Structure 1
Amino acid sequence: MSFNALVLAGSRGGRDPVADYAGVTDKALIVVGGRTMLARVTDALRGAGAERIVVVVSSTAVRDHARALGLETIDGAAGPSESAGRGFALLGAPLLVTTADHALLEPDWIMQFIANVPPGADVAALLARRDTVERAMPETKRTYLRFSDGAWSGCNLFYLATPQAAAAVKLWQRVERDRKRPWRIVRRLGPGLLLRYVIGRLPLSTALSHLGKTAGISASMVASPYGLAAVDVDKPSDLDLVRGLI
């Protein structure tokens, strides 16, 4: 398969508690298993067949490291979704978007995700059910969205399959503000689907499809069989768990 990839390795500003905990300037530069997290993500992307990899950066140290790895860089924006928009404008579709703190990322996860994106989808996200995540790593604490077909966690893998996916990036920019407040996200569903959500009768796939329609695109999800795909390094305890695995 042929695709380009965008790695979000910027910062929202201020000191990063995980980077401080690891004794480095930027989270992307944390060493796990003898490789920086950015290098590990790059290895996985190349192993999956990525042709062109661009890293979104907000520091000189990460830019220099990315270039030492043979990667292109662009300057980050105010948030991940805006940075993704810049990357999509540069690289076009199809584009795989992930993050530099996805230290456990494996080529097989990427290839299976892309292969399972439904035909006709403009954009797709990889998600993992809570039971799948907790079987793989019971100790991890993640943010879940609860639907009739289970509680789901994002896996920091997005596939922008067509040029129309630009509308999904704009929707992402609106949703990003509410990523840790699931109720604000589901309120975008409207009263009918919101009622189904409240009474536990709304599947995640239906919710995503509706959100896509509000943006004028076809949005879908792929369920990951790999619970570890939902584990990124958001806090020091995540870093300890990931280092323990590797």
Structure 2
Amino acid sequence: MNQAQPEAPRNPRTDPETAPVTRWSAVVLGGGDPGDAFAAAHGVNVKPLIPIHGQPMALYVLKALRASGQVSRIAYVGPTTPAIDALVDTRVTDHGTLLSNLEAGVEALGQTGLHPNERVLVVTADIPMLSATQVTDVLQNAPRDAGLVYPVVRREDCQAAYPGVKRTYATVRDGTFTGGNLFILDPALIGQFLPKLRELLDARKAPLKMAGIIGGGILFDFITRRLTVQKLEDKVSQLLNVPARAMITSHAAIGTDVDKDADLQLAEQHLTPRA
């Protein structure tokens, strides 16, 4: 009689039966330049408060997060309205820059306690076409082994969803992509990557300085279209000192922010007026 073989030990990181349940919180970035001409032209101080069918565009983002059933807490950074206040757990004053607002939002969540398995979804408040289904899909399919996950959208998916939409794209060997307006991070690692991320953003208008940080090999591969998503992930992980992953998603709304009148008209066409 054959003896039963001992059962192989389960890997708690990869086995769905033993893997710890991920908890999700969100930081919604609703700040902006008080002198923004686009916002002023629509009678508000900051862009996320521009109305679409009578509601601030930020409200559509918050409703998508809540309706997904995935996000337990929301910290909102920036000016609010009573309708926005009703959907957020923590209000945070605008600190003036994207990274400062990100840091302040995560810190605000941390003051009320962060679970060891908690991850934070960071979303800009100017992607009103985001849906609850898309939020759920991104969170359920996001890599669990990364400290930073950044969704990207293929150009063909953007153009199929919104014909004629104008976005900024980058071409690598794997395809042509636009960046998403949300990302996922492990809040325990934020102190490791924020300083380097600030350095990269400070150098974005100084090509030689940026080349020195990124490295000539990566730039050459990009120019010659030999750069791959995998190689870019490895380089970003090295630069930021955290495991970083790109996540290719077909959800064009994630890569379609509203920053001009044409975008606003697009959102009005695709969103249903509500009472």
Superposition TM-score tier, normalisation by shorter sequence = 0.7 to 0.9
1:204 paired residue among 229, 237, 255? 229
Mapped partners of 1:202, 1:142: distance in 2: 21
| Contact 2:143-2:245 within 8 A present in 1 as well | yes
Matched with 1:81 is 99
- The worse-fitting range, judged by mean Cα deviation, of 47-56 and 175-184 is 175-184
**Residue by residue, what CA displacement relative to the aligned partner does 1:20-45 show, whole Å, maximum 9, x if unpaired?**
33233332222224432121111111
Q: Which runs of 5+ in 1 are unaligned?
A: none
- Partners of 2:133 and 2:207 in 1: how far apart? 29
Aligned match of 1:19 = 39
Which letter does structure 2 place at the counterpart of 1:193?
Answer: I
Kept after mapping to 2: 8 A contact 1:56/1:76: yes
Name the structure where helix makes up a greater proportion of residues.
Answer: 1
Check the 8 A contact 1:21/1:236 in 2, yes or no: no
The residue type equivalent to 2:99 in the other structure is S
Find the partner of 1:51 among 68, 72, 78. Answer: 72
CA deviations 1:80-102 (Å, max 9, x no partner) are 11210122223254110001111
Q: Secondary structure at the match of 1:222?
A: strand
CA 1:45/1:10 → structure 2, altered by over 3 Å: closer, same or farther? same
Take 2:165 and 2:212, find their aligned partners in 1: how far apart are those partners? Answer: 27
Q: C-alpha displacement at 1:244, in angstroms?
A: 1.5
2:84 equivalent in structure 1: 66
Q: Is the 8 A contact 2:151 2:183 kept in 1?
A: yes
Q: For the Cα contact (< 8 Å) 1:117–1:124, is it kept in 2? A: yes
Deviations 1:121-159 (A, max 9, x none): 011011101121111112221122221212211121110
* Paired letter, 1:237: A
Q: Is 2:239 aligned against 1:214?
A: yes
| Same amino acid, percent of matched pairs | 27
Structure 1 letter corresponding to 2:24: F
Asked whether the equivalents of residues 123 and 162 of structure 1 are also in contact (C-alpha less than 8 Å), the reply is: no
User: Amino acid of the residue matched to residue 96 of structure 2?
Assistant: A
The answer to whether the Cα contact below 8 Å between 2:31 and 2:96 also exists between their aligned partners in 1 is no
5 Å-filtered alignment, 1:234-245, equals 234-245=259-270
The residue type paired with residue 206 of structure 1 is K
Task: Tell me by how many angstroms 1:231 deviates.
Answer: 0.8
Deviates more, 1:219-228 or 1:65-74: 65-74
More RCO (CA 8 Å, sep 6+): 1
Alignment partner for residue 40 of structure 1, among 53, 60, 85?
60
Q: Quick one: which of 244, 257, 266 aligns to 1:232?
A: 257
SS at match of 1:5: strand
Moved more, 96-105 or 200-209: 200-209
CA spacing shift, 1:178–1:113, aligned 2, 3 Å:
farther
Instruction: Please say if 1:132 is aligned against 2:152.
Output: no
Instruction: Provide TM-score, normalisation by structure 2.
Output: 0.78
Q: Deviations over 1:60-98 (max 9, x none)?
A: xx2655324454211122211121012222325411000
1:171-230 Cα distance to aligned partner (Å, 9 max, x none): 333333466899986764312222222211111332132112122110001111122321
The structure with more radius of gyration? 2
The CA distance in 2 between the partners of 1:161 and 1:104, in whole Å, is: 26
**C-alpha separation in 2, matches of 1:74 and 1:189:** 33
Aligned AA (2:56): T
Deviation at 1:161, TM superposition (A): 2.8
Q: Which whole-Å CA distance do the structure 2 matches of 1:55 and 1:182 have between them?
A: 34
Letter in 2 for 1:215: L
Ranges in structure 2 where 5+ consecutive residues have no aligned partner:
1-21, 111-117
Q: Is the contact between residue 76 and residue 88 of structure 2 (CA under 8 Å) also seen in structure 1?
A: no
Following the alignment from structure 1 to structure 2, what is the Cα–Cα distance between the partners of residues 112 and 180?
A: 35
Counterpart-to-counterpart distance in 2, 1:47 and 1:237: 27
Q: TM-score, normalised by structure 1?
A: 0.87
Distance 1:186 1:137 in 2: 34
Task: Judge which range, 177-186 or 109-118, deviates more.
Answer: 177-186
